[in-house]
Structure 1
Amino acid sequence: MTLDDLRVFVAVCRAGSLSAVARELDRTQSAVSQHVRRLEREAGVSLLERRPRGVVPTHAGRVLCDAASESIAGLDLALRRLGDLVDGESGAVQVTTGGTTVRHFMSEAVVAFRRRYPKVSLEFRTETSSRNCFEALTTGNLDLAWVTIDGPVRGIEQHPVVSLPWALAVPADDPLADLSCVRTAELSDIRLIRLPGNSTSGARLDAAFAELGIRSSSDTSVADWDTALLLAELGLGHAVVPVLPGWDVPGDGPLRLVPLPDLPPLPVGWAVRRWGALSPIARAFAEAVARSCTERAVNRSTVQGGHGHDPHS
């Protein structure tokens, strides 16, 4: 049993396909199968169940995959930290996050961090959901994941950074555009543009709706909040969205964000395997992003407080 055997096995469990891992690693499918067979011989049990459309781990396979994932991630992190100790203020910070997160939450921090640490490489891996970010953080050689804060996740620490208020995105000529806020009762008769239910933020919004007794209709689904804003502006419906720091929707433009004070704010922040095990460089980046987000949230609240109900002034 070698470390390479375990790496390949974990990759197969995650991909659910021997051929996909073979392509990813630029190896033959036979070579990938040999790694799995060697592990099965040493373990004395079957680790994968072959199915028509791929493979899934058996119960024994899941046990080995979970243990191997944690061990490999810990070893990779230790090797990275040793490299950071040798390089001083060089090395790399690897982050997994959504496709638009850097623009909305990290742009100012990235610029400031690059000026402070010009030799450090910033590497971003895009995932489509917080759940995928958790999985990538657990199984991959990554430092940080920017996520919607969720319930407990095995082997992961979550550190909230900022809570995002919700708003209703409506065209400027909509009757709701001039309201100071929209109460939950008014949402029941509105056709909404929604995120898929398998996204963490979409699930949290659905849970809040259910708790408040809101029954809304929806015939349009999008993969991200930016697209929801665009479709709302085009008149395809209204969008309940968190007010992201990176949005620049002018008060006199074609779109309005009307506050939804009845909905609980959406917490977002960092997920890590162990905060205390982060390299000094990775921690410096995480703190720079948190500081930037906090300052922007304070500035937004100050601006809104000085301009009545218009959230974009």
Structure 2
Amino acid sequence: MELHQLRYFVAVAKKGSMTHAAASLFLAQPTLSIQIRKLEQEVGAKLFERLARSVVLTAAGAAFLEHAERALAELETGRDRVADVVGLRHGRVAVGVLPSVAAHLLPAVLAQFRAEHPGVAVHLVEHDVSRDFEQLVQAGELDMAVTRMPLTLTGLGARTLVREPIVVLVPPGHPLAGRQGVALHELAGEGFVCMRAGYGVRELTDQLCAEAGFAPDVVIETGQLSIVHGMVRSGVGVALLPRLAAAGAEHAVPVTDPPACRELGVVWRRTALESPPVAAFLERLLAICDDELTPAERGAAGAP
């Protein structure tokens, strides 16, 4: 059964005449008659009773008309919805994001994107484990993700957004609280408040401490960044965090070791950019990061 046959059937039913329907469809009458006969063969019943100068619907034709009209209406609605997505009037973008990024880097992006495309829904998926995002993007569960660089999977598009410095959070009254900077080796005797193993921030803490020649003495592990902040404020220990994750801390001292930074970037599935809402969101994200971050913070440029 072809869609054009449904259109022909509805036109004949409305006009009550093969001749008039053929004229409205810009078809030769024999061609129209052939298509109606093929449709009747497909449904297994006569749809029209042929009279001398007109046609009338049979009982089967009258039953079929309702469904044919509904199918054509749904098709037209579907075309309109596609046009809305292409025109960025509707649609959906699924974005994975680290909690610290969601709170401090994305609000401006979301505000501008929503102002420009209010009909496009943005679904944010927060997760602390960066590497999972790459798999979710590759599997099609996310369109893109703002995550830790460098990538571990191949075949994804990627661009660095920001290289943010690492700071050490210290309790009020701590000897390091008033310092302009601290070297990592100075923290060797401190108790550490950390995210749990497997979290990107924890991997970074372990890596930086190992590079400084010691393993962190972890006194508290948690899955919540807010608990890290609270424990440090209460004097339980110190914490190493990227600048975005340390936002709001009263005593955050920059780490002076040259490699002490976290590199964040956006990764995307290249085929996802065939969706206009996804492509528009990525464009807005890159534009705002280019405009608002300093040259030292900004990652290496690379076209999507």
| Same fold, TM-score > 0.5, yes or no | yes
Alpha carbon RMSD of aligned pairs, Å?
A: 2.8
Q: Matched residues, percent identical?
A: 22
8 Å Cα contact 1:166-1:259 kept in structure 2: yes
Cα pair 2:167 2:246 within 8 Å, conserved: no
What CA distance in whole angstroms lies between the structure 2 residues aligned with 1:267 and 1:244? Answer: 11
Structure 2 equivalent of residue 94 of structure 1: 94
2:40 aligns to what?
none
CA distance, structure 1, for counterparts of residue 121 and residue 83 of structure 2: 12
Mean Cα displacement is larger for which, 176-185 or 213-222? 213-222
Equivalent runs, 1:99-118 vs 2, <5 Å: 99-118=99-118
The question of whether the paired residues in 2 share the 8 Å contact of 1:225 and 1:241 is answered with: no
2:248 equivalent to 1:257: no
1:215–1:86 distance in 2 versus 1, CA, 3 Å: closer
Query: 1:84 deviation in Å?
Result: 6.7
| Residues 108-159 of structure 1 deviation map (CA, whole Å, 9 limit, x = unaligned) | 1111111111121111223341122122212234211111113431333332
Q: Give the match's secondary structure for 2:241.
A: strand
Deviation at 1:272, TM superposition (A): 1.1
Residue correspondence of structure 1 range 162-311 to structure 2 within 5 A: 162-244=162-244, 247-249=247-249, 255-262=250-257, 263-274=259-270, 277-298=273-294
C-alpha contact (below 8 Å) 1:194/1:239 kept by paired residues: yes
User: Distance in 1 between the 2:85 and 2:111 partners?
Assistant: 25
1:115 and 1:221 mapped to 2: Cα distance?
A: 40
Q: Mean alpha-carbon deviation: is it higher for 181-190 or for 89-98?
A: 89-98
- Contact map agreement 1:143 1:278 (CA 8 A) in 2: no
CA apart distance, 1:210: 1.6
Distance in 1 (alpha carbons) for counterparts of 2:289 and 2:245 = 7
The 1:234–1:288 alpha-carbon spacing in structure 2 relative to 1, beyond 3 Å, is: farther
**Aligned partners of 2:108 and 2:153: how far apart in 1?**
29
Relative to structure 1, the CA distance from residue 109 to residue 139 in structure 2 (aligned partners, 3 Å threshold; closer, same or farther) is same
CA distance in 1: counterparts of 2:223 and 2:180, whole angstroms: 28
Structure having the higher Rg: 2
Q: One-letter code of the match for 1:233?
A: R
Counterpart amino acid of residue 288 in structure 2 = S
Distance in 2 between residues matched to 1:267 and 1:202, nearest whole Å:
15
Partner-residue secondary structure (3-state), 2:96: strand
Q: Which moved more, 1:212-221 or 1:105-114?
A: 212-221
TM-score normalised by length of structure 2: 0.62
Deviates more, 1:229-238 or 1:134-143: 134-143
Contact 1:245–1:293 (Cα < 8 Å) also in 2: no
- Structure 2 matches for 1:35-184, cutoff 5 A? 83=82, 87-90=86-89, 91-184=91-184
Give the letter aligned to residue 162 of structure 1. V
Q: 1:124 to 1:171 in 2, by over 3 A?
A: same
- Helix, strand or coil for the counterpart of 2:282? helix
Instruction: Check the 8 A contact 2:102/2:126 in 1, yes or no.
Output: no
Match of 1:161, SS?
strand
Contact 1:105–1:289 at 8 Å: present in 2 too? Answer: no
Find the counterpart in structure 1 of residue 301 from structure 2.
Answer: none
Q: Residue 69 of structure 1 aligns with which residue?
A: none
Partner Cα distance (1:226, 1:299) in 2: 29
**4+ residue runs over 6 A deviation:** none
